[in-house]
A and B are shown apart, each in its own frame.
Chain A
Amino acid sequence: MKQLVILSGKGGTGKTSITAAFANLAKNGNPPINAILADADVDAANLELVTRPKRLESHEFIGGEIAVIDPNRCHACGICEQVCRFDAVIPPDSSQAVYRIDPIACDGCAACVYQCPEYAITMQPQKAGNWYHSLSLYGDLYHADLIPAQENSGKLVTVVKQNGRLRALDTGAQLLIVDGPPGIGCPVISAVAGADLGLIVTEPTPAGSHDMERALQTIQHFRIPALVVINKADLNREKTAEIQNYCKEKQVEVLGEVPYDPLISEGMKQGLDIVAYHSTSPASQAIKAIWTKVLERLSLLGGAS
């Protein structure tokens, strides 16, 4: 079983649109590929909006724990405030005579718990979201909703991916397709872990190429082979050529260019990926050619395992 992760650095370059088209091509292409989908952008999970999933299972996700001060035991000594490095301890004021924890600022490190001389502080688990197993148009989908403003999105990404992976192993699937989050931090690192191939979707804008470089460095930092797709390539030919040259210099293969195609967002409004919405549109054709190359690079064509 292979793992493909789709990343971008910058948001909005088309990760999810391309992932959904890949999922369609896996199911309906020639040859069909038995793939499991995982939406690792748990902050802003959108793959479900273009794959029409029916929810099969729903599970609570308990993220980290946060500190809570028992007001009846607190003697207001202030040690918790001194040891907290996250500015999460609120000192007494006119409304309360003892110390309190700001649940949004609390990092969950528990330093205050161990330093409190009155044993007034305990750690309490926080429900941080839900994760789901669904049956989408293109097979099994694992996805999640992080409760807004919650921490531990990296951990939730790991839960989503692990369950997708187990399903893939149980069903003998050939591929796990992971739709990654933007950025390069904790949830991205969780999404990238264990991947066989990282595909970076970029766009020919200053921000797109700047962030592609950071995403590329991140993937390479974890020693995962990386490939690039330039989406909306005709919006700025000059910048597209620059990205091509940059990748050549860094010996990173550009698998293809996808033209700017308003049909992609038209399809999205119908809840469909571009291949389902308009299978012969310029973007669909470009994505099909790229998909074939992805399968080649993953050795999933021609009977190789």
Chain B
Amino acid sequence: MRMANNNPLKIAVASGKGGTGKTTIATSFALSIINDISESLLFLDCDVEAPNAHLFLKPQLTEEKPVEILIPEVNESLCTHCGECAKVCQFQAIAVLGNKTLVFPQLCHGCGSCTMICPANAIQEIPKSIGVLQKGTAGEIKFARGVMDIGEPMAVPIIRQLKKWVAPLEPQITIIDSPPGTSCPVVESIRGSDFLILVTEPTPFGFHDLKLAHQVAKDLQIPAGVIINRENGAFSELEDYCKEENLPILMRVPFRRNIAEGIAKGRNLIEILPEMSASFQNIYHQITTLVK
């Protein structure tokens, strides 16, 4: 069955706790619905610190673009060491010591404030690489991801530039694989999504972090649903919470050693349990009705 949709959805997958199965679910979801939709499908790996979706989708990466931020470079022959730049910098990334102005590139957020404020026009901005964006295809799925350079602290600009880079030219459904946690990189990844799939596991760790991730969804006013992964008997607190919060449980994936072993070998869920494919298609239908 082919579905038409005038308002192609952006669906993000997050969890709070790491390792609950975000990437497994997101990639299996993409592979399940690709033959069931009329729009094109874009898969966006926003976990730029630990990008793993390519391990399951095995895309051919054909395009690459560096992610750069602009950092200040001080022309000492023009600099009067007045210290205005250090005064406006909120991140202690530039300092004046005697008659030398020092820049600490790792601390710089690339905001340009020092350059704009400098009364001697002694600062020019130079690009500094903090990661790379890559694009390609995995079968019919369009794929893009960001990869942060080792030792760089800031994931957010990479995610922001990744999302701009792939800004859709044609109607397409987007699946976003978000990083773990609940802070700024997660917010940047899921902002603007129409729906958030929260992948959890029925353990105290999984449940604790699910509530935090759900709070992010509420703050951003993104409707959400839950997939319970590795379900092994009832975990009543989780069930009660979903009920109280009107959080639909979209799917339950059982806890079985053979699934864990299959995933350990790099297989996705629908290779291990082909019948899950229909469930993922159902979830897609359910989401289209939930966001209306």
**A and B co-occur in one complex:** yes
Q: List A residues at the B interface (Cβ < 8 Å).
A: 8-13, 16, 41, 43-44, 46, 49-50, 64-65, 83, 85-87, 104-105, 107-111, 114-115, 123, 146, 148-154, 181-189, 203-207, 210-211, 214, 217-218, 221-222, 232, 235-236, 238-239, 260, 262, 265, 268-269, 271
Known: A114-B88, A214-B49. A181 touches B181 (CB 8 A): yes
Tell me which of B56, B112, B156, B212 contacts A83 (CB under 8 A): B112
Return chain A residues, CB-CB under 8 Å to B191. 104-105
Return chain B residues, CB-CB under 8 Å to A41. 181
Asked whether B129 is an interface residue with its Cβ less than 8 Å from the other chain, the reply is no
Asked whether B109 lies within 8 Å of A148 as measured between CB atoms, the reply is: no
Return chain B residues, CB-CB under 8 Å to A181. 181
Bound state CA distance, A221 and B219, in angstroms?
36
Return chain B residues, CB-CB under 8 Å to A186. 153-155
Asked whether A183 lies within 8 Å of B155 as measured between CB atoms, the reply is: yes
Return chain A residues, CB-CB under 8 Å to B240. none
Asked whether B266 lies within 8 Å of A206 as measured between CB atoms, the reply is: yes
Asked whether A49 lies within 8 Å of B208 as measured between CB atoms, the reply is: yes
Asked whether A149 lies within 8 Å of B50 as measured between CB atoms, the reply is: no
Question: Nearest Cβ distance between residue A210 and chain B, in whole angstroms?
Answer: 6
Asked whether B167 is an interface residue with its Cβ less than 8 Å from the other chain, the reply is no
Known: A49-B204, A207-B52, A235-B260. A153 touches B19 (CB 8 A): no
Return chain B residues, CB-CB under 8 Å to A105. 191
Asked whether A44 lies within 8 Å of B150 as measured between CB atoms, the reply is: no
Asked whether B52 lies within 8 Å of A11 as measured between CB atoms, the reply is: no
Q: List B residues at the A interface (Cβ < 8 Å).
A: 16-20, 23, 47, 49-50, 52, 55-56, 88, 90-91, 109-113, 116-117, 148, 150-156, 160, 179-187, 191, 203-205, 208-209, 212-213, 215-216, 219-220, 232, 235, 257, 260-261, 263-266
Return chain A residues, CB-CB under 8 Å to B220. 104, 149
Q: A43-B180, A46-B17 are in contact. List 8 more A-B contacts (CB 8 A).
A: A10-B52, A104-B187, A114-B116, A181-B181, A182-B181, A184-B50, A186-B155, A268-B204
Asked whether A235 lies within 8 Å of B182 as measured between CB atoms, the reply is: no
Asked whether B216 lies within 8 Å of A149 as measured between CB atoms, the reply is: yes
Return chain A residues, CB-CB under 8 Å to B160. 86-87
Report the nearest A residue to B230, measured CB to CB.
Answer: A265
Asked whether A44 lies within 8 Å of B16 as measured between CB atoms, the reply is: yes
Asked whether B150 lies within 8 Å of A65 as measured between CB atoms, the reply is: no
Bound state CA distance, A214 and B185, in angstroms?
18
Report the nearest B residue to A207, measured CB to CB.
Answer: B52
Bound state CA distance, A49 and B211, in angstroms?
14
Return chain A residues, CB-CB under 8 Å to B88. 110-111, 114
Tell me which of B50, B110, B212 contacts A43 (CB under 8 A): B212
Asked whether B203 lies within 8 Å of A265 as measured between CB atoms, the reply is: yes
Return chain A residues, CB-CB under 8 Å to B209. 44, 46
The residue among A43, A87, A210 with the most chain B CB atoms within 10 A of its own CB is A43
Tell me which of A49, A83, A151 contacts B183 (CB under 8 A): A151
Return chain A residues, CB-CB under 8 Å to B23. 207
Question: Nearest Cβ distance between residue A150 and chain B, in whole angstroms?
Answer: 6
Asked whether B49 lies within 8 Å of A184 as measured between CB atoms, the reply is: yes
Tell me which of B20, B111, B116, B264 contacts A203 (CB under 8 A): B264
Report the nearest B residue to A270, measured CB to CB.
Answer: B204
Report the nearest A residue to B233, measured CB to CB.
Answer: A269
Question: Nearest Cβ distance between residue B290 and chain A, in whole angstroms?
Answer: 22
Return chain A residues, CB-CB under 8 Å to B112. 83, 85, 111
Asked whether B50 lies within 8 Å of A211 as measured between CB atoms, the reply is: yes
Question: Nearest Cβ distance between residue B198 and chain A, in whole angstroms?
Answer: 12
Q: List 27 A-B contacts (CB under 8 A).
A: A9-B50, A11-B17, A11-B20, A11-B50, A43-B180, A43-B181, A43-B186, A44-B17, A46-B205, A49-B204, A49-B208, A83-B116, A104-B220, A105-B191, A109-B109, A149-B187, A182-B18, A183-B50, A185-B153, A185-B155, A188-B49, A205-B264, A207-B52, A218-B150, A222-B151, A235-B264, A271-B204
Return chain B residues, CB-CB under 8 Å to A150. 183-184
